[in-house]
Amino acid sequence: MSTPIAPIPPQATPATSLLKTLGLVSTVCGLIIVGAYQGTYDAAAANRRLALERTVFKVVPAAKSMTEWQATPQGIRPAGGEAVAGAVKFYVAYDAAGDLAGIAAEGAAKGYADTVRILYGYSPACQCITGFGLVSSKETPGIGDKIVTDKAFLANFAALDVKLNAELSALANEVRAVKHGSKANPWEIDAIAGATVTSRAVGKAINDSAQRLLPRLVPEIEKLRKKES
Amino acid sequence: MSEIAQARTFDEFMEGIWRQNPVFVMVLGMCPVLAVSVSAVNALSMGLATMFVLVCSCGLVSLIRKIVPKEVRIATYIVIIATFVTVVDYVIQAVSLEIYEALGAFIQLIVVNCIILGRAEAHASKHPPLTAMVNAMGMSIGFVIGLFALGAVREVLGAGTLFGFSLFGPNFQPWVVMVLPPGGFIVLGGWLLLFSALKRRKEVRLAAQGGGHGA
């Protein structure tokens, strides 16, 4: 019977050498990441701003420039400065002459696949929604994504009624999507047959956002009539 | 460079494109392949992003291969890969937000793409930087070809367009399932079928040739 040969214990790598290697690699990688972040920051920020402007100008077609505002419980004020809890962000769009062209704001609601985020245009003149655009959605191609291509559905947003009640505390009528073919009032959205869940999400997104924003915005709308130079 | 060395470098390069194609032969990195190949543009952007990460990390891994103790090599490789993924993430945001939105989480998920860690561990950690990068380049081109083959077929069938240009006119009724997840599996299955049929034909031919000499 042969005795098994004891395996030669492997040479242990000293801890300092492990730490040195890891430290060196992390430092080099850290420098690369910070360099890339610094180098792309301006271009990425400009890209985000452009994308936002494009969507705002789409929902407020007459718009030529825009400024960012927030509606706080104490009133509206230009965005920037310290963040206020419960503030709703919105965008004020002006036409070429510097007159108020419309308001755009973001809304979000759970759709079929994920949260559907939209940007809608509000016209103070008719107190109605005049259009909406998608910010992000993962709805089913060919079904849920019809909300931006279906002409009959988009016709709902030619003048969707969002008048406030007499006390200016909430919308006079809740905006909601109704079953395809049963729209009877100007504040209802005729859903796309087969894409009811996504249509409802658009309705809910507009309603939730408008209920929060418009009671704060409408009483002070005069502040926004002219673009500040 | 001598002729032998040149031939070897070319061999390293071609390995990933054809003989060891990551998508059609090794069937690696299927998660991004199936998920983002809904259109030719998405497939190409994902392929190029992966290419950048693969080539840069293989180069760096190979450069430090002699100073990295084997106990910490996986941690080191992952840190290096994650670094280049972060870089590519920032660069895509700066280039196009649309592509960034379309690729979504799959850019960050390049970190765990097994082609990259596999190449770092199996090849780059054992070869000098130039060879490692040439091999990585070949692998990435193979990956881009694989992704593009899926993305183009799925876009043409599922949307009737290629690179956003309409191919069949307004009366085309898109085959929507092709841009949904099942379409990815169907098209991948079709390509795998084609490749194994080619491989089989080659084997049969070789056997017929070899039959004359042996046995």
| Residue scoring higher pLDDT (B65 or A143) | B65
pLDDT tens track for B185-200: 999 999 999 988 988 9
Q: Which long-range contacts (CB under 8 A, 24 or more apart) does B204-213 make?
A: none
Are B62 and B127 within 8 A, CB to CB? yes
Residue ranges of alpha helices (H) inside A75-195 are 151-154
pLDDT tens track for A183-196: 888 888 888 888 88
Q: Does position A55 have pLDDT exceeding 90, yes or no? A: no
Q: Does position A207 have pLDDT exceeding 60, yes or no? A: yes
Taking the C-alpha atoms of residue B147 and residue B67, their distance in angstroms, rounded to an integer, is 35
In a domain, A80, yes or no: yes
What residues contact B124, with CB distance under 8 A and at least 6 apart? B57, B58, B59, B61, B62, B65, B132, B135, B136
Q: Does position B212 have pLDDT exceeding 70, yes or no? A: no
Same domain, residue pair A195 and A206: yes
In a domain, A174, yes or no: yes
Same domain, residue pair A50 and A84: no
Same domain, residue pair A37 and A105: no
Same domain, residue pair A160 and A217: yes
- As given in the structure block, the two tokens for residue B156 are 């043409």
- Host H or E run for residue A198: helix A196-217
Which range is least confidently modeled, A55-59, A152-156, A220-224, B144-148?
A220-224
Q: Do A17 and B174 touch (CB under 8 A)?
A: no
Q: What is the pLDDT of residue B53?
A: 95
What residues contact A105, with CB distance under 8 A and at least 6 apart? A88, A89, A90, A91, A119, A120, A122, A209, A210, A213
Same domain, residue pair A86 and A70: yes
In a domain, A229, yes or no: no
Same domain, residue pair A108 and A188: yes
Q: Do B90 and A47 touch (CB under 8 A)?
A: no
Same domain, residue pair A52 and A139: no
A69 DSSP β-pair partners: A78, A90
Give the total number of structural domains in chain A.
2
Sort out which chain B residues have CB atoms less than 8 A from A36's CB and list them: 86-87, 90-91
In a domain, A2, yes or no: no
Which range is least confidently modeled, A4-18, A83-97, B11-25?
A4-18
CA distance B72 to chain A (A): 7
Sort out which chain A residues have CB atoms less than 8 A from B94's CB and list them: 40, 43-44, 47
- Give me the mean pLDDT over the B80-91 stretch: 94
Q: For chain A, first and last CA: distance in Å?
A: 99
Q: At what angle do helices B3-14 and B129-159 cross, to 10 degrees?
A: 30
Report the residue of A16, A17, A21 to disrupt the B interface, i.e. the one with the largest count of B CBs within 10 Å: A21
Confidence of residue B86 (pLDDT cuts 50, 70, 90): very high
Chain A residues with CB within 8 Å of chain B CB: 13, 17-18, 21-22, 24-26, 28-29, 32-33, 36-37, 39-40, 43-44, 47-48, 51, 136, 140-143
- Give me the mean pLDDT over the B96-121 stretch: 86
Q: What is the pLDDT of residue A150?
A: 82
- As given in the structure block, the two tokens for residue B170 are 């307004």
Taking the C-alpha atoms of residue B187 and residue B194, their distance in angstroms, rounded to an integer, is 11
pLDDT tens track for A108-167: 888 888 888 888 999 888 888 888 888 877 777 777 778 888 888 888 888 888 888 888
Q: Do B176 and A13 touch (CB under 8 A)?
A: no
Q: Do B90 and A36 touch (CB under 8 A)?
A: yes
In a domain, A83, yes or no: yes
In a domain, A1, yes or no: no
Same domain, residue pair A198 and A143: yes
In a domain, A178, yes or no: yes
Q: Among partner residues A21, A33, A136, which is closest to B76 by beta-carbon distance?
A: A21
Same domain, residue pair A164 and A73: yes
Q: Does position A84 have pLDDT exceeding 60, yes or no? A: yes
Range of the domain at A22: 14-58
Same domain, residue pair A77 and A188: yes
Confidence of residue B215 (pLDDT cuts 50, 70, 90): very low
In a domain, A153, yes or no: yes
CA atoms within 13 A on the CB side of B205: 6
Same domain, residue pair A124 and A153: yes
Q: Does position A34 have pLDDT exceeding 80, yes or no? A: yes
Q: Do B64 and A13 touch (CB under 8 A)?
A: no
Q: Do A13 and B69 touch (CB under 8 A)?
A: yes
A-to-B residue pairs, Cβ atoms closer than 8 angstroms: 66
- As given in the structure block, the two tokens for residue A40 are 């792309």
A100-110 vs B165-166, strand pairing mode: unpaired
Sort out which chain B residues have CB atoms less than 8 A from A146's CB and list them: none
Q: What is the pLDDT of residue A32?
A: 95
| Residue scoring higher pLDDT (B47 or B101) | B47
Same domain, residue pair A105 and A172: yes
